[in-house]
Structure 1
Amino acid sequence: MPTPAARRRGAVLAEDDRRVPAAVVFDVLGLDYEKAFASSEGHRASLQWLLERLEPGSRVLDVGSGTGRPTAQALAEAGHDVLGVDVSPVMVDLASRQVPKAEFRLADIRELPLAEGSFDAVCVYFSLLQMSRAEQSAVVGRLARALRPGGLAVLATVPLDVEGVDGVFMGQPVRVTSFAGADFTRLVAAAGLTVLAEEHALFSPAHPDAGPEPHLFLHCRREAA
């Protein structure tokens, strides 16, 4: 159990910070990441899709919750019970301060225990890209099982056929793995999710070291058994 000092402003800080690569990158980016993506109309439209379909007081898991905005904030302000998970201590602290109505936990979604059918909805906005393809497939499968039958999932990725490619993201070195759009959609369907809507966008983050990038948003449902 976390010590009392590890609990503050709704955050639960992990005692064993193993500094996964994504944590290093997003600790540095902090609020710059939020500012760079604040104008993403695709992200906000995806959130609106989810908000219009959730029952009051739904339990929602936000994977890779970042600074808490806009995802956790929009959900919490609508009265939903939000758990945000992120590997970056800086992001967890920022989110806890910016969105006090939600709970944020420092944890790796690849290892976090998830009870079957424990959430009404899951959000996964661009938080898989520094995982291997096998890890991405396993995580999506675990998240699908964590949804109750009829539960909703929104997933967003950069739909490119790349594996273990070294690059620079907003001035930070990263290693990226992703899928072509059709392959990612098949991965999601294989996990047991029905894709209800698919949206594509081209977005340019507001940062001098960032260029235009394709975005794919999938809006899904876990069917009843």
Structure 2
Amino acid sequence: MQRYEAAYSDRPEQVRAAAWLADRVGADARVLDVGCGSGVPTARQLVDAGVRVVGIDISPAMIAAAAAAVPEAELHTCSILDFSETGFDGAVAFFSLLMLSRAEIEQALTVLHEAVQPGGYLLLSMVEADLDNAPVKFLDTDVRVSGYPCGALERVVEQAGFDILDTRVVSYMPATQPADLETHLYVFAQRRVPR
């Protein structure tokens, strides 16, 4: 956890995206933070803006860290694939879905479509890559990750029932060395309102 936070502690685009969401949903809105990690920066930022945050993460250690950093948030140790709560004004999934296969990402987007009420927002970020459950070494740990080229990610989000409002493509260099320049995709979407 500490190595990850050292490498990815400075994510100005993520902070800007969360501020965008907080402005749209307003104080007292309910937002789901998928893969909330330690709660910093996103859950803390949203709570400070008056948003009621429900954070989920598969790691009990991350949930414990988030409970210490953001005691105002409601936190649960679970996977997005097992989540069933609904009625959220928005949801964020910043770099949390990339640990799933593409089939599971599509399933997670279906869960998020159900979780977010019509007209609510979804903010999703991923590293741009054409991968499906591929083995990679991440911070000296073997993991499996998935990703999409930009247009393909937008199509998957749209197929889940969201309209794309904006997509931002950002170059990012992790703080730890050696590191490779990454391309981060931030998708801003809104659940379609039935006509």
Instruction: Classify the TM-score, shorter chain.
Output: over 0.9
Distance (Å, rounded) in 2 between the aligned partners of 1:75 and 1:32: 24
The letter of the residue matching 2:85 is L
For the aligned residue pairs, the C-alpha RMSD in angstroms reads 1.2
Distance (Å, rounded) in 2 between the aligned partners of 1:114 and 1:209: 41
Q: CA deviation at 1:204?
A: 1.1
Counterpart position of 2:84:
113
Asked if the contact 1:36–1:207 (Cα under 8 Å) also holds between the matched residues in 2, the reply is yes
Unaligned runs of 5+ in 1: 1-29
1:146 maps to 2:76: no
User: Could you tell me which of 30, 35, 47 is aligned with 1:64?
Assistant: 35
Distance (Å, rounded) in 2 between the aligned partners of 1:182 and 1:211: 22
Q: CA deviation at 1:176?
A: 1.3
Q: CA deviation at 1:179?
A: 1.5
Asked if the contact 2:19–2:46 (Cα under 8 Å) also holds between the matched residues in 1, the reply is no
Alignment deviations for residues 49-80 of structure 1 (CA, whole Å, 9 cap, x no partner): 11221122000100000010011000111111
* 1:150-169 matches, cutoff 5 A: 150-169=119-138
Distance (Å, rounded) in 1 between the aligned partners of 2:137 and 2:62: 20
Distance (Å, rounded) in 2 between the aligned partners of 1:111 and 1:68: 20
Distance (Å, rounded) in 2 between the aligned partners of 1:184 and 1:216: 9
Distance (Å, rounded) in 1 between the aligned partners of 2:108 and 2:136: 23
The letter of the residue matching 2:59 is S
TM-score by length of structure 2 reads: 0.95
Counterpart position of 1:198:
167
Q: CA deviation at 1:209?
A: 4.7
Q: CA deviation at 1:109?
A: 1.1
The letter of the residue matching 1:223 is R
Distance (Å, rounded) in 1 between the aligned partners of 2:40 and 2:78: 18
The letter of the residue matching 2:176 is H
Counterpart position of 1:16:
none
Distance (Å, rounded) in 2 between the aligned partners of 1:82 and 1:31: 23
User: Could you tell me which of 84, 88, 102 is aligned with 2:73?
Assistant: 102
Asked if the contact 2:84–2:111 (Cα under 8 Å) also holds between the matched residues in 1, the reply is no
Asked if the contact 2:83–2:111 (Cα under 8 Å) also holds between the matched residues in 1, the reply is no
* Bigger-Rg structure (1/2): 1
The letter of the residue matching 2:50 is G
Q: CA deviation at 1:208?
A: 2.5
SS at match of 1:82: strand
SS at match of 1:208: coil
Counterpart position of 1:37:
8
TM-score by length of structure 1 reads: 0.83
Counterpart position of 1:75:
46
Higher strand share: 2
Asked if the contact 1:170–1:209 (Cα under 8 Å) also holds between the matched residues in 2, the reply is no
1:175 maps to 2:144: yes
Distance (Å, rounded) in 1 between the aligned partners of 2:62 and 2:166: 30
Asked if the contact 1:194–1:220 (Cα under 8 Å) also holds between the matched residues in 2, the reply is yes
